[in-house]
Amino acid sequence: MSFHPVIVIETVEEERVEVLLNKAVNDLQMAMFDWSIAQGLVRSQGNIHARWTNEYAPPGTIRPSALENTTEPLDMLKHIQDMSFKAIYLLKDFAKHLDDAAVARQFREIAHQFSLNRSAIVITGDAITLPRDIAHDVVYFPLKLPDQDELYQVISEVTRSLQGRIKVQLQKQDVPPLVRALQGMTLKQAKKVIAYAALEDGALSTQDIGRILQRKAQVIHEEGLLDYISVENNTALLGGFSGLKQWLARAKVGFSPQAQAFNLQPPKGILIVGIQGCGKSLAAKTIAREWKMPLLKLDAGRLYNKYVGESERNFRRAVSLAESMAPAVLWIDEIEKSMGVSDTDADGGLSRRLFGYFLTWLQEKSQEVFVVATANDLSRIPPELLRKGRFDEIFFVDLPDPQERAIILKIHLQARNQSLEHFDLTELVQATDGFSGAEIEQAVITALYRAIYEQQPLDTPMLVTEIKATTPLSISRREDLHQLRAIAQGRFVNVK
């Protein structure tokens, strides 16, 4: 413990906090109490200095009694103030009670008292907001998601608890992939998913990794901040972009042991700018697939919250989750929408604060999280983000050239079970001049719907008809495209 009078740990993992605190107070030879509005103030059973615990009783058979008249927050604080020995007090979901003036005043007096006698209060809960006069004296302790050692211990605990009910069919080399599959979960989530995977077929084996990854995708989605695409489920195919692919092949060595031997830092990330529908999003997916890393997509719209401080907290949780799953690719789609320059200050400076936090994290992050940021509107990107050194490189995506359009047409026709020999690719490539990759794909889809409706096979004339019926962005937004090309000229690297 740091001997600060008040420590805040924002987390939903109460049990993990209790385990960590019990270990700390045992090392410090101090007592520990925990409190909730439901049970009152109770002396911790897991603490060796809990003199009132029957150490010979089987685990779980004796539930400690709460100290008298300690259920209400104010009564509990007065009781703590009267105690004459050093201790750690874990207060669960307590922050909301500090809105009461009497409770807040009593709390501040105890904080001052504890600053002199080395006792401490630990407040835990999810999304903790404290009154300003109390927050001034508080130290925030970041409880990161479990690391590989903790997850390995979870696997051992679960297999021991299920001994006799399952068969453990894991070799020594099988454990690291299983641990990596669990990264990004809380300890409780990891325990549940391992037990479920093992009990479903009566065995814990490498085949359970797929079930774990499916559950992890659900867990991350339920968090509401990131979308998760595992390596196994990433089937992205990117036509063209030869320049970007060559750069990525070289950058990949930054994650190698040889690079570490030369004290080289892994690459931080890239920014991809360009017109909509030209493959920026597909590039992010392809990078993760080629590097065999999970892809985490951060949607800017999910960060925003109407309550002050919540959006910044959401962003911190998102990047913390990404770090816990390293090595990984973090894709920030349309970064200008969350951290871009605004003509007004309607968001109260939130975009600037998120942008500042992002720059600091990008510069100082130690985990192997490769950031792929994409942007459509360069005019809204802060100049600081385009400065050399922020990203490893900035790439510009223009409309696909004839060779790239041919590749894109082949990909989308073959993906929909169309034989290429039935199409005149030369005519289709000419017809799609000025089209983005997304517009080409949509033309193929629309033409196929028409073919199904007319009950005839798709052919070149039908596809050309749909292409000519489409007005591409290169025409509808011609001025924007010219401006984007002018800005990118000589400043950014072409992906081709």
pLDDT confidence bin for 53, thresholds 50/70/90: very low
Residue count of the chain: 496
Q: Exposed, middle or buried by CB within 10 Å (0-12, 13-18, 19+), for 99?
A: exposed
Strand order in the sheet with 328-333: 226-229, 295-299, 328-333, 369-375, 269-274, 393-397, 493-494
What's the DSSP call for residue 44?
-
Structure tokens belonging to residue 476: 């509808």
* pLDDT for residue 121: 94
Radius of gyration (Cα) for the chain, nearest Å? 28
Report the alpha-carbon distance of residue 228 to residue 211 in Å, rounded.
14
C-alpha 453/C-alpha 365 separation (Å) is 54
**pLDDT tens digits along 466-477:** 999 999 988 988
Mean pLDDT across the chain: 85
Task: State yes or no: pLDDT of 308 exceeds 70.
Answer: no
Q: Average pLDDT of 124-135? A: 87
Per-residue tokens: 162: 């299920």
Confidence band, pLDDT 50/70/90 cuts, at residue 97: very high
Task: Name, in order, each residue with C-beta under 8 angstroms of 57's C-beta and a sequence gap of 6 or more.
Answer: none
Angle at 133 between CA 129 and CA 137, to 5 degrees: 85
Contacts of 303 (CB under 8 A, 6+ apart): 225, 311, 314, 315, 318, 338, 354
Average pLDDT over residues 473-496: 84
> What are the distances in angstroms from CA 45 to CA 53, 62, 81, 187, 367?
6, 10, 22, 21, 36
Confidence at residue 340, expressed as pLDDT on a 0 to 100 scale? 65
In the DSSP assignment, the letter for residue 65 is P
Who wins on pLDDT, 109 or 274?
A: 109
DSSP string, 117-147: H--EEEEEESS----HHHHTTEEE---PPP-
Q: In the chain, pLDDT over 70 holds for what percent of residues?
A: 92
Give the C-alpha separation, 454 to 448, whole Å.
Answer: 10
Find out whether 272 and 332 touch, Cβ atoms under 8 Å. no
- Judged against a pLDDT cut of 80, whether residue 320 lies above it is answered with yes
Lowest pLDDT segment from 152-161, 168-177, 263-272, 297-306 = 297-306
Which residue bears the tokens 């959401």?
314
Beta carbons within 10 angstroms of residue 291's beta carbon: 18
Q: Which amino acid is at 96?
A: K
For 322-340, the pLDDT digits (tens) are 888 888 999 998 888 777 6
Q: Residue 466's closest CA among 438, 447, 451, 441?
A: 447
How far, in Å, CA of 361 to CA of 139, rounded? 20
Strand spans (E) along 289-389: 295-299, 328-333, 369-375
Note if the pTM is more than 0.95. Answer: no
